[in-house]
Amino acid sequence: MNNKNGNNKITIGVSGMHCASCAKIIENKLNKEDSIKEISVNPLTEQAEISYNPETFNQEDISKKVKDLGYSLNISKENNDLDEIKDQKEKELKDQRIKLSFAIPVTVIILFFVFWNIFSSQPLPSDNIFTPFAFIAASITLFWIGFRFIKAAIRFFRTGQANMDTLIGVGTGTAYFYSAIILFFPQLRETLNLKEMYFFDVTVVVVTLVFLGKYLENKAKAKTSEVIEKLINLQTKTAIVEKDGKEKEVLINELKLNDVVIVKPGMKVPADGAIVFGQSALDESLLTGESIPVDKKKGDEVIGSTINSYGLIKVKINKVGKDTVLSNIIKAIERAQNSKAPIQKLADQVAGVFVPIVLALAVITLATWLILGSMYLGWPLAVSLGITCFVSILAIACPCALGLATPTGIMVGLGLASKNGLLIKNASSLEKFGKTKVIVLDKTGTITTGQPDVDDIVSIQISKEEILRISASLEKGSEHPLAQAIVKMAKEKNTKINQVMSFKDFPGRGVSGKINGNKYWLGNASLINELKAPLPEEQLKKLAAQGKTPVILSDEKNVLGIITISDQIKESAKEAIAQLHKMGIKTIMLSGDHKKTAEHIAKEAGIYKVIAEVSPTEKAEVVRKIKGQGKITAMVGDGVNDAVALVEADVGIAMANGSDIAIESADITVLHGELDKIVKALKISKLTMKKIKQNLFWAFFYNIIAIPVAAGVFYPNFGLLLSPIIAAGAMSFSSLSIVFNTLLMKRAKI
């Protein structure tokens, strides 16, 4: 596919990954390819996003190179079918359950023997019963359940590429083959003066615990991406199409542009379109986060997969398939989940070098025990301690927890944002927004509704009802926003509309006409002033200072009344701005309006600072200057005139009820244009980064503490030695704890 900058990008599935090291291996290999401009591999979603040169990119060649590393690319499609991916995951989990149904009982038996020999005064006859059983169990466990670990170890010796599986494969393989050699070649054991100590139990338990940990981890990881599945499930499978007066039920993929579909109460709108018959209220909560149904009437746009609450409506389809709002949301979330936050670079860099370092440490530890240990403890004990420490280091130091720390946080954070009606384009924006110190807000459509409404009716010579009746009658045929505001109020109050004779339009100033034989003028002060009717100057000045637009009604001699119109502040704006200030964020309002009008709106909304009478290009310049002060700056807007400023800001935020250009330019889109969603976005960003930092801290801390203990540093003085069995359990627990710690975000009240 082609992105908006003209770069070719493709998102494809990657099979066989188990940790961040796997992703790093693939990235390092493919980044060397001239045909690939950029690649981002996400081990959590098991997808790679590749930006490539179409003239030199060869999918088969790339697939072969990845296969040589022990992984495989699904390049049959540009975007993987989500149902197919889900089925594949279920199949993988089922296979893991079958293997665990053998491994767990065997491990329990092995552990029974181990602990009996440790704690019982009468050991079981291990030579006749335990050792043969342990050998058979270890052979089946290693070469069936843990075969991927063996393959990883072989790949390491063949290519030099190492990942988490390499550590387990080398560790358990060493324990198994050492034990097998001294079991089947007793003369060699006696010649080398080796102690008759077997590690078959270590092989069985370590492989099982790691495998069990991966199974539980895979089940937990599936929950981090359930937002995509929920969005997919929103789509209805069929639609009722009306053609030639008849109804026909068709599959959703058979829908065509301009088809008219019937949506009955309780049904979902099958695809995006416009209502051509009827009216209703549509539940858009799963797309926008808003629980209150939105009223819709003839001519209004509707979004596919929203639910019709009560009335029967007919919808003319104008978007199908991949062009619908829901499809674009799904694609945007997938792209965001596959993107990487800046903080993940640290984890990726560490994971990339961590495995080789651990392997080196394990070898050094083994060599140290064999050389120095044999001098003080004797050769037989030194060998057994060396192998124990060697396996323990490889088992406990896997960087799996480190690799999970960031992507799990990003995925849950993006899912939480989607649930709250926020569409975040990439992980970088999610991270950066939480660091924002200044939020620049466009006025119209962001702080205000963008739709003029009647504020008040000021009676001077006649009643308010009469002023509204005459004014609405004069304005009923006008398309001007101020005229529509007056007519709208008249309809709401069921005001009678009279016929107007001798109608005349004064462009930019007002209108005039005769009603029941009386001549009236309705317009601004310039028009009324020409009639020589005395204007209420002080009252008009006061209204202007309040940011209200006066529409004056007059007859041939006197001003009869004034209708004040203003762009109303959104209900959520004041509270949202107050919360932003409590969070230590400075707010600035930009507006092209007159200074007094803008200042009044800013004061009423509680804005910290206002900059008025600015052009679209000047808006971008203002944002640029604020950024120049070293402050992370976000810009919130909804119009075409905001697009440049949205791009200029560190984080651009668009209201979804605004222009397509603004939305395309933004990093975050608010699916229901209310400012309180901006507060939610900040909270989600901060919570996500907090969880990621917690995860990274514990992953680093865990390895720093665990490796010296596993290496036997404390054994000479304190007799403290870490069993490989405990090391494997601790490694699995660390990965699981990070996943479950991240999943706690779902319970957070945003």
pLDDT digits (tens, 9 = 90+) for 499-536: 999 888 887 678 899 998 899 999 888 888 888 778 88
Q: Are strands 280-283 and 246-251 parallel, antiparallel or unpaired?
A: unpaired
- What's the whole-number average pLDDT of the chain? 80
Q: Which residues, listed in sequence order, are joined to residue 522 by a DSSP beta bridge?
A: 511, 553
Would you state the pLDDT for residue 68? Answer: 81
Distance CA 440, CA 609 (A): 9
Angle at 71 between CA 69 and CA 76, to 5 degrees: 130
| Phi, psi (degrees; rounded to nearest 5) at 284 | -110, 20
Calpha distance 383→40 (Å, rounded): 43
Domains and CATH numbers, the chain: 8-80 (3.30.70.100), 256-319 (2.70.150.10), 424-447+570-677 (3.40.50.1000), 451-568 (3.40.1110.10)
413 confidence band (pLDDT: 50, 70, 90): confident
Residue with tokens 């569409």: 423
- State the residue for tokens 């690799």: 403
Spatial CB neighbours of 731, under 8 Å, sequence gap ≥ 6: 209, 210, 213, 395, 396, 397, 398, 400, 401
What percent of the chain is modeled with pLDDT above 90?
15
Can you give 445-478 as a three-state secondary structure string? Answer: HHHEEEEEEEEEEEECCCCHHHHHHHHHHHHCCC
Residue whose token pair is 């980044």:
31
| Contact of 632 with 437, CB cutoff 8 Å | yes
**Whole-angstrom distance, CA of residue 4 vs CA of residue 104:** 52
Q: Could you confirm whether 442 is annotated as catalytic?
A: yes
Sequence-ordered strand ranges (E) for 579-686? 586-590, 609-611, 633-637, 651-655, 668-670
* pLDDT score at 640: 55
Strands 47-52 and 72-74: unpaired
What is the arithmetic mean of pLDDT over 53-65? 83
Mean pLDDT comparison of 317-331, 409-423, 429-443, highest-scoring range: 429-443
Distance from C-alpha of 413 to C-alpha of 418, rounded to nearest angstrom: 9
The CA angle 433-582-689, to the nearest 5 degrees, is 30
pLDDT of 659 over the 50 cut = no
Cross-sheet strand order for the sheet of 559-569: 448-459, 559-569, 549-554, 518-523, 510-515, 501-506
Longest distance between any two alpha carbons in the chain, whole Å? 126
How close are the terminal C-alpha atoms of the chain, in Å? Answer: 35
Write out the E strands in 56-179.
Answer: 72-74
pLDDT by residue (tens digit) across 288-324? 545 456 778 888 888 888 888 778 899 999 988 878 8
Find the catalytic residue in 165, 283, 348, 442: 442
Percent residues over pLDDT 70 in the chain: 83
Lowest mean pLDDT among 84-98, 202-216, 336-350, 370-384: 336-350
What is the C-alpha radius of gyration for the chain, rounded to an integer number of angstroms?
35
Residue 79 binned pLDDT confidence (cut-offs 50, 70, 90) = very low
pLDDT at 641 over 80: no
638 vs 596: CA distance, rounded Å: 22
Q: What is the reported pLDDT for 296?
A: 83
* pLDDT higher than threshold 60 for residue 4: no
> How many Cβ atoms are within 10 Å of 61's Cβ, its own excluded?
12
Q: Point out which residues pair with 40 in neighbouring strands.
A: 49
Maximum average pLDDT range among 203-212, 569-578, 713-722: 569-578
**Tokens (6 digits) for 685:** 């960003």
Cα–Cα distance measured from residue 663 to residue 642, given in angstroms and rounded to the nearest whole number: 10
Tell me if 159 sits within 8 A of 69, measured CB to CB: yes
| Predicted local distance difference test score (pLDDT) of residue 324 | 82
Strand partners, 631: none
Residue 573: how many other CB atoms lie within 10 Å:
23
- The pLDDT-based confidence of 84 (bands split at 50, 70, 90) is low
645-655 average pLDDT score = 84
Whole-number Cα distances in Å, 269 to 272, 419, 499, 749: 7, 20, 41, 30
Q: Which 3 state secondary structure label does DSSP give 471?
A: helix
Mean pLDDT across 359-369? 90
pLDDT of residue 448: 82
**Rounded Cα–Cα distance for residues 381 and 373 (Å):** 8
Average pLDDT over every residue of 257-268: 90
Among 50-64, 72-86, 573-587, 711-725, which is the least confidently predicted range? 72-86
Alpha-carbon distance 173 to 691, whole Å? Answer: 36
User: What single string gives the DSSP state of each residue in 660-708?
Assistant: HHHHHH-SEEESS--THHHHHHHHHHHHHHHHHHHHHHHHHHHHHHHHH
Tell the burial category of 139 from Cβ atoms under 10 Å away from its Cβ (0-12, 13-18, 19+): middle
Find out whether 423 and 329 touch, Cβ atoms under 8 Å.
yes
What pLDDT sits at residue 140?
95
d(CA 120, CA 123): 6
Cβ atoms of 283 and 307 closer than 8 Å:
yes
CA-to-CA dists, residue 219 to 46, 96, 206, angstroms: 14, 11, 20
Q: Which two tokens stand for residue 746?
A: 């779902």
What is the number of other CB atoms lying within 10 angstroms of the CB of residue 616? 16
**42 vs 416, more confident:** 416
Provide mean pLDDT across the span 691-700. 83
Checking if the pLDDT of 6 tops 70, the result is no
- Identity at 415, one-letter amino acid code: G
Task: Name, of 197-206, 325-334, 391-400, the range with top average pLDDT.
Answer: 197-206
Residue 224: band (very low, low, confident or very high) from pLDDT cuts 50, 70, 90:
low
pLDDT at 661: 52
**Residue 298 DSSP label:** T
Q: Is the pLDDT of residue 62 over 50?
A: yes
Sign of the torsion formed by the C-alpha atoms of 479, 483, 489 and 490: negative
The owner of tokens 């009678």 is: 496
Query: What pLDDT, on the 0 to 100 scale, is given for residue 588?
Result: 92
500, 488 Cβ separation under 8 angstroms: no
Q: How crowded is the C-beta side of 507, counted as CA atoms within 13 Å? A: 0
How far is it, in rounded angstroms, from Cα 315 to Cα 278?
9
Higher pLDDT, 624 or 660: 624
CB 260 within 8 A of CB 242: yes
d(CA 282, CA 235): 15
Q: Is the pTM of this model over 0.75?
A: no
Q: Residue 470 pLDDT > 90, yes or no?
A: yes
